[in-house]
């Protein structure tokens, strides 16, 4: 007996998304402005990658790590701000030491000396599993490189969609993408979550994921622009969104399940990456459905797609 899959999506129902576009965009703009205000006032909680310092991942040999005793022992070293965070296993912990002031031998040497003092103070009952020391020069270079990576990704996406579709599609997609990244950064700022190179990688992953959903909607929109020459643009856009809605929702949901597993069962080192992806998938799905198309309609879109770039006529409904 052949098993048939279950189709639970209401394909015969048409959601009036474009009819409510002003409300959806208003909500997005309020959250977007709140994210910018949060970034301007509170700023980001940059990790060691971006502000310098030392990180130690430790494991106690004698049982659960005594966080209070470790904090008292390390505070006695007078190394400035010391942060200690327990991990999933009670015997494991993360220790962060702030960037040290430059001494006679420079800031890099001062940071290395601080790391040596911490290792000596921890004693034989603690196993140091991982050590990261980042000086101020390297942290500045990493911060600049992270910014350039995100900017280049956005520019590359704009150029690709401009080449693949038309410039209106590219501008609308990039506006939606900036919306996604800014709100994700605003959430990191609001919650005070640490932001480092791993989270930059998550933002780049988010950019690719979000733009993929948007391109699917735009591609269907382009096909419908060829097929329905006289259909009003809001109705055509609404039809295109609804025709791709099941794909967008189901793809996002299945991806979200996988990332949730990483966030729940992963270590503290990767949880920031997983959280950025979880929130990024949610906001990226929202923008692909409710934000990108209204932006495209307000920018204006070419109605006659019956000719290709060489001027040859194509039959209505033909795909590329």
Determine the average pLDDT of the residues in 292-307: 74
* pLDDT score of 194: 81
Residues 19, 277 contacting (CB under 8 angstroms): no
Given the candidates 3.30.70.3400, 3.40.190.10, 2.70.150.10, 3.40.1260.10, the CATH classification of the domain at 53-134 is: 3.30.70.3400
* pLDDT score of 308: 46
* Two tokens, residue 306: 């019956």
Identify which of 307, 273, 277, 236 has the alpha carbon closest to the alpha carbon of residue 19: 236
The domain segmentation of the chain, as residue ranges, is 18-45+139-299, 53-134
Identify which of 161, 190, 193, 198 has the alpha carbon closest to the alpha carbon of residue 177: 161
> pTM of the prediction?
0.74
Determine the average pLDDT of the residues in 47-54: 73
Position 7 confidence tier, pLDDT thresholds 50, 70, 90: low
CA gap 305, 309 in Å, rounded:
10
Q: What is the CA radius of gyration of the chain?
A: 25
Determine the average pLDDT of the residues in 88-94: 80
Determine the average pLDDT of the residues in 176-194: 89
Determine the average pLDDT of the residues in 96-120: 72
Checking if the pLDDT of 36 tops 90, the result is: yes
* pLDDT score of 302: 67
* pLDDT score of 304: 60
Position 319 confidence tier, pLDDT thresholds 50, 70, 90: very low
Checking if the pLDDT of 139 tops 60, the result is: yes
CA gap 266, 88 in Å, rounded:
9
Identify which of 135, 183, 175 has the alpha carbon closest to the alpha carbon of residue 154: 175
Backbone dihedral region for residue 106 (phi beyond 0: left; psi -120 to 50: alpha; all else: beta): left
How far CA 38 is from CA of 25, 41, 45, 179, 181, in Å, comes to: 20, 5, 12, 14, 14
CA gap 32, 181 in Å, rounded:
10
pLDDT digits (tens, 9 = 90+) for 222-276: 888 888 888 888 888 898 898 888 888 888 888 899 889 888 887 666 778 888 8
In 111-259, which ranges are E strands?
Answer: 126-134, 194-195
* pLDDT score of 33: 95
* Two tokens, residue 285: 């799905």
Mean pLDDT of the chain: 79
How far CA 266 is from CA of 13, 72, 201, 245, in Å, comes to: 39, 29, 17, 31
Position 2 confidence tier, pLDDT thresholds 50, 70, 90: low
Given the candidates 3.30.470.20, 1.20.1640.10, 1.10.1510.10, 1.10.3720.10, the CATH classification of the domain at 18-45+139-299 is: 1.20.1640.10
Lowest mean pLDDT across 39-43, 124-128, 273-277: 124-128
Checking if the pLDDT of 310 tops 60, the result is: no
* Two tokens, residue 152: 């280049």
Residue 6: Cβ within 10 Å count? 6
């Amino acid at each position: 007996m052949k098993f048939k899959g279950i189709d639970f999506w209401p394909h015969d129902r048409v959601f009036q998304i474009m009819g409510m576009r002003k409300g959806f965009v208003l909500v997005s703009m309020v959250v977007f402005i709140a994210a910018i205000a949060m970034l301007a006032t509170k700023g980001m909680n940059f990790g060691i990658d971006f502000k310098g310092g030392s990180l130690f991942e430790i494991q106690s040999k004698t049982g659960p790590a005594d966080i209070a005793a470790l904090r008292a022992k390390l505070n006695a070293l007078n190394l400035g701000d010391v942060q200690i965070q327990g991990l999933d296993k009670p015997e494991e912990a993360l220790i962060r030491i702030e960037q040290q002031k430059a001494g006679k031998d420079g800031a890099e040497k001062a940071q290395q000396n601080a790391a040596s003092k911490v290792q000596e103070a921890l004693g034989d009952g603690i196993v140091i599993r991982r050590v990261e020391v980042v000086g101020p020069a390297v942290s500045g270079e990493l911060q600049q490189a992270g910014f350039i990576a995100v900017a280049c990704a956005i520019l590359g996406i704009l150029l690709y969609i401009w080449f693949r579709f038309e410039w209106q599609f590219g501008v609308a997609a990039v506006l939606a993408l900036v919306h996604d990244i800014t709100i994700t950064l605003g959430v990191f700022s609001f919650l005070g979550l640490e932001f480092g190179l791993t989270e930059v990688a998550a933002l780049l992953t988010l950019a690719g994921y979000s733009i993929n959903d948007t391109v699917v909607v735009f591609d269907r929109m382009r096909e419908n622009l060829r097929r329905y020459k006289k259909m009003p643009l809001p109705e055509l856009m609404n039809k295109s969104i609804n025709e791709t809605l099941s794909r967008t929702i189901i793809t996002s949901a299945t991806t979200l399940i996988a990332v949730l597993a990483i966030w729940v069962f992963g270590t503290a080192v990767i949880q920031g990456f997983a959280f950025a992806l979880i929130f990024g998938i949610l906001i990226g799905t929202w923008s692909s459905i409710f934000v990108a198309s209204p932006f495209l309609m307000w920018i204006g879109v070419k109605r006659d797609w019956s000719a290709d770039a060489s001027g040859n006529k194509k039959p209505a409904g033909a795909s590329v």
